[in-house]
Every structure is written in structure tokens, then in C-alpha cells.
Structure 1
């Protein structure tokens, strides 16, 4: 099965059976950082990641890298990209360029650092973790070549770790819109042809992975959403406003901070991280993705209401056309379908990686409630919430 990891299709889309996640031990990170960045690591912590490996490191003050003049006081994230995306140098370069662009525009994002060779990335042949081969029943080792980068660590908590509020949802919408507005001036030709299973335009490709959904009622709901996508969204895709988007604006990638010392439990949205899914796509997808992920674990309001608060913040900085409004509910449902189907499939490939089931814990029930509500009712409620911010 492991040999299949080398055979990506012509479009770079994940195919059933591929194992693309780097098989790297935490203990090997200090030597990697010393070699590529000229820094001495004093601590390593592995972070959650879907297809890549990410490590938070702290380093000593001595710098053996002529391309770094000072150190980030909060540490760094070493990113080891999955084998599929590691082959696409142009894609990773585009991620770096987008982060540097947004950083220069005042959007709080991780900033790529140059390695000892003066570049923002380096492909390295890494020592692999043989325990993972046994766990995945693999019978042949991959090449072990992965792209390595180092980004400044953005301090704060991820949104998932704090109590959700309508104000935080509003601020999430604001940040997504501000970012989209800035990205209207960002152009990268290599992103325009990107194909990724997580792109909403590739929703029909879920048919390849839907076998992993074993429950009959859930399977039926996903097929209904796919049918609705094909019938209602696909014909309108050419009419939707397009540009560069983040593509994964979720509760694990949104950073919040307590800005007032006198109110340590009052958080505000401060940053967005993880640019692995950037793409040229429809702007309405950005806000739909944001809405979907914020619906999953909210207890402070009915999940269906979350979209209204996100939209109120988003619309403060970017308007939605009537065509975008007309497909918004289907876009939210399609992202649910992507996350739930791919989560089920990926867990079959990597059993025990509970991070892959983050959406599934409540996502199926939330989606069922959302999808069963009449479309007109959902949109009317969202508009009602938006109007409440205008008073």
C-alpha cells in the first residue's frame, strides 16, 4: 500500500489508498533544524495537523544563519509538508508569498523565515518512522523526501480552546473579509490551476471516498447534498466572483488573544494560520467554510444561527451578490460533506489519529439539523441576525 503514495494523479488530487503524511519522529527535529536553519533547538512540541507534520520549537539565542538577523520571541513552527504537496514547489512558494504579502498588509499571519541557503523552503530526505509503517500495514518505504519550512509562531489560543461568543463569530467574519479584500491584489499564476480534494469546486469528487461513510442515513444525506451541489451550484460557478482565498478558515486555524489584562477571559480574534489550502476560487466559498466550522461545537446559540453572526462581520467589509446568497446554504453543506467524508476516509487510513475525527464528533448531527431546515428559513434567520447588528 505504501508504494501508492508515490503515484499522485496528473492533477495532484489525493486518490484512495495514498499515504502522504510525513513519517517523522519528534526526536529527529532538532538535527533537522540545525542543518537547515542553523539554530539550536531547546524544546519540541508536535502540533495537530491533517496531512503534514508541524512542530513548535524554541531555540537558543545563537544564530548560525546569515539570512536571519533576529529571533521570534514566541518560537517557530517547523512545517514538514506531505509527500503529495512536497512535489509541487510552485504551490509551496505561493503559500510563502501569500503569507509574506498579508504580513506586509498588516494581517497577522505566520511569517516564513529563510534557511541557511537563503531560501524559504528546502526539500529534505528525512529519516522515516518505521513504527508508522507497521501501523499502516505498509510493505514498502516511500522516498522520505519532504519540503521543510520554518514560520514564526503566532501566540495566543486557537479559537477551539475558548468559549464561543457571537462577538467572536462576528470578528471571524470580519477577518475573513479583510483578508479576502487584501488578496484581491494578490496574484499567483500557479494557484489558478491548483486541484485539491478540499476545494469546494471539487465537491463531486467525494463520490470516490463516500464508501467510508458506513451509516445508511448519513450516506443518503451526503448524496442529497452532492445532488444539490450539481443541480444548483455548478451551473452558477461561472458567475461567482473569484480570487485568491485562504480556503480553510476554521476553528483550529483562527487565533484569539486576551487583549485586556483586566478581562483575561475576554478574547478577540487576532490571526489566521495554516495556508496549506490556499487556492484561486470563489469568494463565497471562504465565508461558507468559515460558517461551517464555527457551527460544529457552538453551545451558546443554535448552530444554525452561527452563520448570521459570521455574515454580519463579513458583510461589514465585503458585500455578497444575490447569486452568492443563492448558493450559500449549499456551499456550507458541501463543506460539511467534505470534512465528514474525508475525515471518515482518512481515519480508515490512519486509525488512532483522533484529530481526523474532530468534525465527526458533532458534525453529523449539526449537519442533519442544518440540511433538514428549509433553505428560505435558514437564509431568513441569517438576515434577521445581520439586521440586529445594524441597530
Structure 2
């Protein structure tokens, strides 16, 4: 067990060639969980993850851990954080704090669990240190599992998209009361405001037409979004509201009638523009929808979002560029990360349909897209 790493690189951005994903095997998880949390693992399933390693575990109903007397019947998620974020105990504390805050406000999110033994560290508050622990170069945490399926596993419907927008807005509204000094200064390659940093990784996009499209999006960002950034409303956001992180569930009497129930994975939380939250949500729900034209997903998400939050004219003015920029981030970083970690097919999730969806979306006139979204929004007002 190593000591707490220094936080000198707390806001360091990922650099080309840097390998940060944990080198942990599935077979090592039971021993790790037993040592840190006093739980006896009976099954392990590796979950999709980008830079971290996540595992779903089921455990025996008894434990000697005095902090976990009521064990979750649905299991737990073990999160082994990448080496870059693991250097930042302030970030981990902020994630735990946000999840506990939202949980207290009635938003269904994972609830962090306490390790078996309390460990005192001088450089981080004792309350937060109880919620994560170090092994080798990586930070390890577990949280109870939010019951249900991820949205990606069920058939998409306009109602589910509407509910995604509702949850995103409700969460953003609650987070208006959440304060964290560290998150105000967090730097992350996945922050939309860092879209210009894609120039460091665009070499991984080998196709000339795709490369040109990304360059056009970066130019549009610089010309249309950057000048308006100081005018956009800001606050704490989730930052990764996507189909892999949205949980849906159904009632036993109607198992095919799914509804959005929870949001997971707080790895990308940040202080940023609220319009980025809705743009990220729209982009990910466009990728694999087959039940409607991909762009129409944005109208249904916005209809749900606008039920609880409004958008200013400035936010409407940059929304299309923000959606395109998130496509660019996901596609460029996916291509780059796959070069670093060949065989990790999860890194290509966006690429399977994303390039074609983005090409259609980006080639459509901006006002045509916005008017279509407004028309869908009006259909919910009847």
C-alpha cells in the first residue's frame, strides 16, 4: 500500500503518449476488495470504461466492516481511477462530496462507501479520506449500485430522451447550491472549453475528409463560441451525461416500460457552462438512435430540459457548435486513445456511427436544425 501521491499535477492535462489506464486484472479484484473493504466477493464483471477500470461486484451478505452494516442487495461498483486523476485527492473528494450532496437532495446517484479501516492522511480531510484509499499508483473506491440498466441496453424512445433532459436540468438546478473551490480551477481534456486542445491529438484522425471536418468545427468554435464564453451562465455540471452513464428501470408489472432513474460516473465533474451539459447530453443520445433521425433526439432532450431550466439567446446561439465540438472531442480522443490501447473496443463506441452522424449534422444549415428542435419542443406544449 503506497502513501498518498503528491498533487503537484492535480490539474495536468493528458499528453500524447501518456498511458494512464490502471493495469488491474479482473482476477485481482476480489483480493483487493477484501483487503480494503472487508467484503467477500462472489462475482466480478468488468464494466465499460474509458480511462479508469470499473467492476460490478456481488458480495456475501456478511462483512466485518463496521461502516457497511446494510449491504446493497444490488451489488457494488469498484472504481479504480486512472493514474492522472489518482494524483488529485482534491478531485476525488469533490466527486464524493457532489454525489453525497445530490443523494441528500433526492437525486438518484451512487453513494460512496467507507473502507474497512480508517486511514489518516495529512494532506486531505479525514472525512473524505474514509471514502477512498490508495493501492500502487491508483485510487480505489466503491459505491453502491444504482439498480436498473444503462440506457444503451434498452430501446430508445422519445419519452426516454425527454426524461434524460429532465434529469440533466434537475441535477443542474440542484448543483446551483453546490460549492467547491477546487472544481472552479479544474483542467480536463474533456471539458468543452478545452476544445482547442484537440489540435494536439488530431493527428490520430487519418481520414482526410474527417480531418477537414474536425478542423472546420475547431474554427467555428474559435469564431462563434469563444467570444460568447464570458456571457454564458456557469455552475457545477456532471460533464459526461451519456448513454453509458444514464440508468433506466421498469416496474415488475410492465418490464418493457423503462424510465430514467439515475445518473452515474462523476469522473468529469467541473465548473463550466450549463449549455455544455445539455450539448453533451444531446450529442451522446444522437449517436446510436435508430427510432428517429439522430438530430431529432436533440429536440426531445431539450423539451425535457426546458421544463426545468431555460436557455438564453446566447446559449441557443452556440448550442449547435457545442454539440459538434463534443462529437469532435469524442471522435478525436477515441481515435487517439485506441492507438494507445489497441483492442479496447469501448474507445470506438462513438466512432461506429459517430462520424456519419456528425457529418450529416454538421452539413445541415444551423437554422434548420434549431427550427426542427423548436418544433419538437412545441409539440410537448400542446
Same fold judged by TM-score > 0.5? yes
Equivalence for 1:230: 222
CA contact (8 A) 1:8 1:84 kept: no
CA contact (8 A) 2:7 2:89 kept: no
Aligned residue runs from structure 1 range 324-343, under 5 A: 324-343=315-334
Q: Supply the distance in 1 between the matched residues of 2:295 and 2:111 (Cα, whole angstroms).
A: 35
Equivalence for 1:120: 131
After TM superposition, the structure 1 stretch with the greater mean CA deviation from structure 2, 97-106 or 10-19, is: 10-19
Q: Supply the distance in 2 between the matched residues of 1:89 and 1:9 (Cα, whole angstroms).
A: 11
2:138 to 146, 153, 173: 146
Cα deviations by residue, 1:109-141 (Å, 9 ceiling, x for unpaired): 10000112340000112xxxxxxxxxxxxxxxx
User: Does 2:164 match 1:168?
Assistant: no
2:209 to 207, 217, 223: 217
SS of aligned partner of 1:201 = helix
CA contact (8 A) 1:8 1:15 kept: no
Equivalence for 2:275: 284
CA RMSD of aligned residues (A): 1.3
Deviation at 1:9, TM superposition (A): 6.2
Deviation at 1:263, TM superposition (A): 2.4
Equivalence for 1:158: 150
Q: Supply the distance in 2 between the matched residues of 1:344 and 1:28 (Cα, whole angstroms).
A: 29
Q: Supply the distance in 2 between the matched residues of 1:7 and 1:347 (Cα, whole angstroms).
A: 28
Equivalence for 1:320: 311
Deviation at 1:10, TM superposition (A): 7.3
2:298 to 295, 307, 320: 307
CA contact (8 A) 1:9 1:15 kept: no
Cα deviations by residue, 1:304-334 (Å, 9 ceiling, x for unpaired): 1111000000000000011110000000000
Equivalence for 2:60: 60
User: Does 2:382 match 1:382?
Assistant: no
Q: Supply the distance in 1 between the matched residues of 2:166 and 2:312 (Cα, whole angstroms).
A: 17
Cα deviations by residue, 1:170-203 (Å, 9 ceiling, x for unpaired): 0000000000000000011111111000000000
Q: Supply the distance in 2 between the matched residues of 1:340 and 1:29 (Cα, whole angstroms).
A: 31
Count matched residues. 366
Equivalence for 1:191: 183
Q: Unpaired runs of 5+ in structure 1?
A: 1-5, 126-144
Cα deviations by residue, 1:268-323 (Å, 9 ceiling, x for unpaired): 10100000000000000000000000000111111111110000000000000111
CA contact (8 A) 1:100 1:111 kept: yes
SS of aligned partner of 1:206 = helix
Aligned residue runs from structure 1 range 268-283, under 5 A: 268-283=259-274
Cα deviations by residue, 1:219-261 (Å, 9 ceiling, x for unpaired): 00000000000010011111100000000000000011112x3
